[in-house]
Amino acid sequence: MFCRYCGEQLPDESKKCPKCGSDISYNKNITKSENIQTENTNIKKIFFVIVIIGLILAVVSVNFKNIFNKSENMENGNYTSKNSAEEKNVNNKSDDNTEDYSKIAKKAEANIIWLPKDSYEPTDLFFEEELAPVKKDGKYGFIDEKGNEVIECKYDDAKYFGDGLAPVKKDDKWGYIDKNGNEIIDFKYDNAESFYDGVTGVEKDGKYGYINIDGKEIVECGVYNYNTLSNIRPGYEEMLLVKKDNKLGLIDKNGNEVVECKYDNFEYFDDNGFILVKRDDKYGFIDKNGNEIIECKYDYASPFSEELAAVKIDDKYGFIDRNGNEVISFDYYFSPGFSEELAPVYKDDKIAYIDKNGNEVIDASEYDFADRFFNGLALVAVDDKCGCIDKNGNEVIKCEYEGMDHFDDDGLAVAIKYGLRGLIDKNGNEIIECKYDDVYEFRNGLAVVKNYEKYGLIDKKGNEVVECKYDDYIIFDLSPLSIKLATVQRDGKYGYIDKHGKEVIECKYDYAGDIHNGLAFVKNEDGQYGILNFNI
């Protein structure tokens, strides 16, 4: 994760950028930023510059949200999900029906397998590769979906299985076992993670390395002082991010150095194999083999969009192609880049849209801010209120909202008025009146909404599928089932609902886990854990 204000790489748990100190959550009210200090400027200029800073890294994303929110009641302008679990999609099968959900849930509950009371305690609270790590009498082992202890609880710690092996801890050292409990990789590491795609990261004497499933150190511990197993993005699956002497590079899964550790940041990886990098506070582009295609010489560079990248040098923005050729001169003091053949540009206190030949096609000088086009409309703002224009420059949605999302493929966008959120169409009609404290991103036709600290679901027709009565975010799971259920909490108790809003399992448990691979843990009021199997 990177700071959207200065581009600094961020620890996962970070709430503020360690470099610039900015609040890096998308809840941040950009118009209230106090980090811009410009002498001899007016209030309008301050607001204008702040918006520009917020846009620079937001261009990497497909969503630019809650730009002009000034209300203290707007708790969250990010309409995307808040963590990886919340990014699971809602079931999109057209032949779902409530009766099927109820039958499967009823059968799962009728056949619940209760673990012996005061015996096993799940640790990761989900099954992976048909086994789940559990704790008994202070020791760790594994159970199967029927509650059988298939690997004895004799280890000091255990993590979930990956690629047929699981990291376990014994005598203060980590090693790996297979599903039969055989110790496959020696206990010699201070820390170890689960395997992913045949590789995992390990730690020894405070130094990091990589091993494969044969236990071979493909990268010796100590060569790099940082590693991650996370896939960078599709198309770069064979690459791992590493850090050496405070510089970042890339290696392949055989331990070969693909990109030398000499960069301060990897800003963006695109679909065409171009990687936007930062070195010594300058930006440039390399390919997947580490070749520097465009020299790191720019004060800022955006990712390529529609084959052009907005770059900055000597406080002026222009555009280059993938060969590094200047195709639009450096005449502007800001531009977020092209989208739908047009780019907003800022010049001499004037805003306009240009085409790829640099010709001005829309005069937007009446606005304080103009964003890129998405699905035919562009967000604009004046006097802290935003609306939308079309590609003819017509204001099709009046500037009366405090914040807006981009319009999705169905022609709908979240809008904010009086600190509350609703849904509008491309004609400005309020499909759902602005009455919710929060409206999250639509997933397969449904969106989580929040009111008075309670959560519910709406569809794109404005129907409240599930009233706001649950205590926590509603998460639908992508398990290998023909149906999907969501874990919900109401009045401190947990249960499950279907996408029609029916509680197919009543909120009566002290805990109910998300469904993973068709299995979920629940806990009753006596503290006893059970296994729900939705696959039977």
- What is the C-alpha to C-alpha distance for residues 388 and 395, in angstroms, rounded to an integer? 6
Question: Tell me: the pLDDT tens digits for 167-211?
Answer: 999 999 999 999 999 999 999 999 999 998 899 989 998 888 899
Least confident span in 29-43, 190-204, 338-352, 487-501: 29-43
Number of structural domains in the chain: 1
Q: How confident is the model at residue 230 (pLDDT cuts 50, 70, 90)?
A: low
Residue 198 included in any domain: yes
Residue 444 has what pLDDT?
76
Is the per-residue pLDDT at 452 higher than 70? yes
Residue 80 has what pLDDT?
30
Least confident span in 122-126, 144-148, 346-350, 432-436: 122-126
Q: How confident is the model at residue 43 (pLDDT cuts 50, 70, 90)?
A: very low
**Residue type at 37?**
Q
Question: Tell me: the pLDDT tens digits for 129-166?
Answer: 999 999 999 999 999 999 999 999 999 999 999 999 99
Phi, psi of 284 (to 5 degrees): -160, -170
Residue 423 included in any domain: no
Domain membership of residue 149 as a residue range: 121-229
Least confident span in 81-85, 389-393, 456-460: 81-85
- What is the C-alpha to C-alpha distance for residues 132 and 86, in angstroms, rounded to an integer? 22
The larger pLDDT score, comparing residue 407 to residue 12, is at: 407
Containing 38, the helix (H) or strand (E) segment is none
The larger pLDDT score, comparing residue 83 to residue 200, is at: 200
**Residue type at 426?**
K
Residue 428 included in any domain: no
In angstroms, how far is CA 89 from the centroid of its own chain?
Answer: 13
The larger pLDDT score, comparing residue 83 to residue 267, is at: 267
Q: What is the largest CA-CA distance in the chain?
A: 74
- What is the C-alpha to C-alpha distance for residues 120 and 136, in angstroms, rounded to an integer? 5
Residue 77 has what pLDDT?
33
Q: Name residue, tokens 């999109």.
A: 92
Residue 173 included in any domain: yes
Residue 60 included in any domain: no
For the chain, percent of residues with pLDDT exceeding 90: 61
Q: How confident is the model at residue 483 (pLDDT cuts 50, 70, 90)?
A: low
Q: What is the CA radius of gyration of the chain?
A: 26
Question: Tell me: the pLDDT tens digits for 5-36?
Answer: 334 444 443 333 433 333 333 232 323 223 32
The larger pLDDT score, comparing residue 394 to residue 91, is at: 394
Name residues whose C-beta falls within 8 Å of residue 291's C-beta, 6 or more positions apart in sequence.
none
Least confident span in 170-174, 328-332, 482-486, 503-507: 482-486
Identify whether the C-beta of residue 47 lies closer than 8 Å to the C-beta of residue 38: no
Cα separations in angstroms, 419 against 69, 73, 434, 436, 481: 7, 6, 8, 9, 39
Contacts of 436-440 with C-beta under 8 Å, sequence gap 24+, read 436/468, 437/73, 437/75, 438/75, 438/76, 439/79, 439/414, 440/79, 440/80, 440/81, 440/86, 440/473
Instruction: Work out the number of other CB atoms within 10 angstroms of the CB of residue 379.
Output: 29
Name residues whose C-beta falls within 8 Å of residue 47's C-beta, 6 or more positions apart in sequence.
31, 368, 384
Least confident span in 27-36, 306-315, 416-425: 27-36
Is the per-residue pLDDT at 261 higher than 50? yes
Is the per-residue pLDDT at 479 higher than 60? no
Is the per-residue pLDDT at 52 higher than 60? no
- What is the C-alpha to C-alpha distance for residues 258 and 238, in angstroms, rounded to an integer? 10
Residue 121 has what pLDDT?
87
Containing 100, the helix (H) or strand (E) segment is helix 98-110
62 half-sphere exposure, CB direction, 13 A CA radius: 8
Residues 114-130, mean pLDDT to the nearest whole number = 87
Average pLDDT, the chain: 81
- What is the C-alpha to C-alpha distance for residues 46 and 60, in angstroms, rounded to an integer? 23
Residue 9 has what pLDDT?
43
Question: Tell me: the pLDDT tens digits for 85-102?
Answer: 333 333 333 344 445 778
Identify whether the C-beta of residue 423 lies closer than 8 Å to the C-beta of residue 415: yes
Least confident span in 3-17, 49-63, 296-310: 49-63
Pairing of strands 247-252, 239-244: antiparallel
Length of the chain (residues): 536
The larger pLDDT score, comparing residue 487 to residue 40, is at: 487
How does 337-373 read in b/e, with b if 16+ C-beta sit within 10 Å?
Answer: bbbeebbbbbbeeebbbbebeeeeebebeebbbbbbb
- What is the C-alpha to C-alpha distance for residues 356 and 428, in angstroms, rounded to an integer? 29
- 386 three-class SS: strand
Residue 425 included in any domain: no
Residues 38-46, mean pLDDT to the nearest whole number = 33
Residue 182 included in any domain: yes
Residue 152 included in any domain: yes
Residues 381-389, mean pLDDT to the nearest whole number = 97
